[in-house]
């Protein structure tokens, strides 16, 4: 069978490029059973509905898989309609974080779809294709499958592989790493890799564990280094962004990885794409990763300058720990970058101001201030619905990249956006921050993109609440 896997545009305003590694893993899975796979990245490859229709007609797949994120739900509805019109005989299968977060609503929100898969998709998709290929159409044994039978919605239990090494290496030949080296993507020689799946931490605002589960499962070092070697030798990748949630959560694993780098004689530079947990940071770890070739700019999920909000977020940190570890990182030559959330449920203006003051106080190289997003499947969003701050039938398609769809009681969406803008201006328009940027094209590009996106998106608020 011919399988087409589609990645929607994550941000339709900027059309930022980011390789669909998850789809490349799915391609590896279906190829094992002799199926032919294609990957279509709409941000990279196509710009109009006519382009998409032409691609579909030219490839004429038997199965179309659509990767659905909450922020791309509106776009996925359009894509599903295009698929159904262009190739009505194809089976349309949905997957991705939004499906895992709202399994009972996905087929209703995209009625053109035949199936959806929640949880990890590699094994379920292979089993679904096997059933369709033989014509048996037996779906009750396909893990994670969501389907209709006799006008009744059926939702099977998801599957999470105990050993994620079994998934193999992504089908990089289908996504061509160098095609993502551009002004809209990554710098030349850079590419993301994933060493684990699952996130064991209970952060209430994050949906990472919705798709891959809460149990952290790491790949074998043999598999990891096979992939690193392939990317370096065949695709000239020399700067690896370790992008899984689990890498920065345990000092012991990072130390083992760095020791293995030394033992293998593997030379490259590395970045911590999702940052590092501050409770794992100490002098030994920082010395080790510096010697191993890790970038000195490391992201930190600081999130808030309020102890109360940190506790509500279940961050398992404190302002004292944050200050201590950031200062240590600076002392040892690192350039920490802080991520902050504004407008968390029940947060006050004073607590948001405390967050901004903390960002200004800390010796951070960069800072990102984002508005809280009510993502489905998260504890924070469930709390909002249970307490009447979001309706039970909340339209999650309104949650798009850069939009603000929620503000705490007593604060309007426009005011929250104004607070975000003020935070960015106060942080970046300081000599200590702006002068060193003149020597870094990357940082200039980053800050300009932040400001352009922020001020353009000021118009994206859907509703106002008091």
441 burial type by CB count under 10 A (0-12 exposed, 13-18 middle, 19+ buried): exposed
459 burial type by CB count under 10 A (0-12 exposed, 13-18 middle, 19+ buried): exposed
Asked if 271 contacts 335 with a C-beta cutoff of 8 angstroms, the reply is no
Percent of the chain with pLDDT over 90: 83
pLDDT tens-digit series, residues 302-333: 999 999 999 999 999 999 999 999 999 999 99
Q: What share of the chain is helix, strand, coil (3-state, %, to 5)?
A: 45, 15, 40
Helix ranges (DSSP H) in 283-386? 283-291, 307-313, 319-331, 349-361, 379-386
- The residues, ordered by sequence, that sit 6+ positions from 439 with a Cβ below 8 Å of its Cβ are none
What does the pLDDT read at residue 141? Answer: 94
Tell the residue number behind the tokens 């099977």, with chain if given. 156
CA distance 464 to 453: 21
What is the crossing angle of helices 73-86 and 49-59, to 10°?
A: 50
Lowest mean pLDDT among 47-51, 166-170, 314-318, 340-344: 47-51
Instruction: Write out the DSSP string of 55-106.
Output: HHHHH--SEEEEE--GGGHHHHHHHHHHHHHH-TTSEEEEESHHHHH-TTTH
What does the pLDDT read at residue 123? Answer: 97
Residue 91 pLDDT exceeds 70: yes
Percent of the chain with pLDDT over 70: 94
CA distance 159 to 95: 13
Instruction: Write out the DSSP string of 117-133.
Output: E-S--HHHHHHHHHHHH
What does the pLDDT read at residue 318? Answer: 97
- The residues, ordered by sequence, that sit 6+ positions from 381 with a Cβ below 8 Å of its Cβ are 374, 375, 390
- Note the pTM of the prediction, 2 decimals: 0.92
What does the pLDDT read at residue 128? Answer: 98
What does the pLDDT read at residue 74? Answer: 93
pLDDT tens-digit series, residues 193-211: 999 999 989 999 998 888 8
CA distance 117 to 98: 10
- The separation between CA 287 and the C-alpha centre of its own chain, rounded to angstroms, equals 29
419 burial type by CB count under 10 A (0-12 exposed, 13-18 middle, 19+ buried): buried
Please compute the mean of the pLDDT values over residues 108-113 and round it to a whole number: 96
Please compute the mean of the pLDDT values over residues 213-220 and round it to a whole number: 94
Residue 49 pLDDT exceeds 50: yes
What does the pLDDT read at residue 460? Answer: 35
Residue 462 pLDDT exceeds 90: no
Q: Which domains does the chain have, with CATH numbers?
A: 2-155 (3.40.50.280)
Residue 452 pLDDT exceeds 80: no
- The residues, ordered by sequence, that sit 6+ positions from 74 with a Cβ below 8 Å of its Cβ are 397, 400
From residue 105, alpha-carbon distances to 102, 151, 294 in Å are 6, 14, 42
Quick one: pLDDT band at residue 465, thresholds 50, 70, 90? very low
Please compute the mean of the pLDDT values over residues 444-460 and round it to a whole number: 55
Please compute the mean of the pLDDT values over residues 183-188 and round it to a whole number: 92
The residue with greater pLDDT, 199 or 117, is 117
What does the pLDDT read at residue 403? Answer: 85
Q: How many CB atoms lie within 10 A of CB 435?
A: 9
Quick one: pLDDT band at residue 413, thresholds 50, 70, 90? very high
Q: How many CB atoms lie within 10 A of CB 127?
A: 20
Residue 271 pLDDT exceeds 60: yes
Nearest to 430 by CA among 349, 356, 371: 356
Asked if 394 contacts 385 with a C-beta cutoff of 8 angstroms, the reply is yes
What does the pLDDT read at residue 441? Answer: 65
Nearest to 207 by CA among 96, 72, 41: 96
Dihedral of CA atoms 288, 292, 294, 300 in degrees, nearest 10, equals: -20
The residue with greater pLDDT, 142 or 401, is 142
From residue 140, alpha-carbon distances to 92, 98, 131, 146, 157 in Å are 18, 22, 11, 9, 10
List residues bridging with 340 in a β-sheet: 303, 369
What does the pLDDT read at residue 449? Answer: 63
Please compute the mean of the pLDDT values over residues 460-465 and round it to a whole number: 30
CA distance 299 to 175: 27
Nearest to 64 by CA among 109, 8, 118: 8
Please compute the mean of the pLDDT values over residues 160-187 and round it to a whole number: 95
What does the pLDDT read at residue 451? Answer: 61
Asked if 9 contacts 72 with a C-beta cutoff of 8 angstroms, the reply is yes
Asked if 297 contacts 337 with a C-beta cutoff of 8 angstroms, the reply is yes
What does the pLDDT read at residue 392? Answer: 87
The residue with greater pLDDT, 11 or 188, is 188
Looking at every residue in the chain, the average pLDDT score rounds to 92
């Amino acid at each position: 069978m011919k399988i087409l896997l589609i990645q929607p545009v994550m941000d339709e305003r900027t059309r930022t490029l980011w390789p669909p590694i998850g789809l490349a893993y799915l391609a590896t899975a279906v190829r094992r059973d002799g199926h032919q796979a294609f990957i279509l990245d709409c941000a990279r490859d196509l710009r109009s509905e006519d382009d998409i229709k032409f691609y579909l007609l030219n490839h004429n797949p038997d199965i179309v898989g659509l990767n659905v994120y909450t922020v791309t739900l509106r776009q996925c509805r359009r894509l599903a309609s295009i698929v159904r019109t262009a190739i009505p005989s194809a089976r349309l299968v949905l997957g991705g974080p939004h499906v895992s977060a709202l399994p009972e609503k996905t087929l209703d929100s995209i009625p053109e779809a035949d199936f959806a898969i929640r949880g990890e998709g590699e094994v379920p998709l292979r089993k679904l294709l096997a059933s369709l290929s033989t014509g048996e159409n037996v779906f009750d044994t396909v893990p994670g499958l969501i389907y209709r039978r006799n006008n009744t919605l059926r939702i099977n239990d998801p599957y999470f592989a105990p050993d994620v090494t079994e998934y193999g290496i992504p089908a990089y030949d289908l996504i061509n790493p160098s095609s993502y080296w551009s002004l809209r993507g990554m710098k030349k020689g850079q590419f993301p890799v994933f060493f684990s799946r699952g996130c064991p931490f209970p952060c209430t605002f994050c949906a990472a564990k919705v798709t891959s589960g809460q149990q952290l499962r790491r790949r074998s070092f043999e598999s990891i280094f096979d992939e690193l070697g392939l990317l370096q030798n065949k695709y000239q990748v020399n700067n690896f962004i370790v992008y899984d949630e689990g890498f920065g959560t345990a000092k012991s694993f990072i130390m083992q990885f760095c020791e293995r780098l030394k033992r293998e004689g593997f030379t490259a530079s590395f970045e911590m794409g999702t940052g590092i947990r501050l409770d794992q940071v100490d002098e030994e770890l920082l010395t080790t990763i510096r010697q191993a070739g890790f970038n000195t700019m490391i992201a930190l999920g600081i999130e808030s300058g309020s102890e109360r909000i940190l506790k509500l977020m279940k961050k398992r940190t404190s302002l004292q720990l944050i200050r201590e570890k950031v200062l240590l990182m600076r002392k040892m030559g690192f350039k920490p970058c802080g991520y902050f959330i504004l407008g968390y449920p029940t947060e006050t203006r004073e607590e948001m101001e405390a967050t901004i003051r903390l960002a200004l106080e800390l010796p951070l190289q960069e800072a990102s201030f984002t508005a809280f997003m009510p993502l489905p499947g998260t504890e924070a969003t469930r709390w909002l619905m249970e307490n009447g701050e979001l309706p039970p039938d909340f339209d999650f398609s309104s949650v798009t990249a850069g939009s603000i769809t929620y503000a705490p009681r007593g604060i309007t969406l426009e005011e929250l956006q104004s607070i975000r803008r003020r935070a960015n201006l106060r942080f970046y328009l300081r000599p200590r921050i702006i002068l060193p940027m003149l020597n870094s094209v990357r940082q200039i590009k980053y800050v300009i993109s932040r400001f352009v996106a922020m001020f353009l998106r000021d118009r994206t608020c859907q509703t106002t609440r008091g």
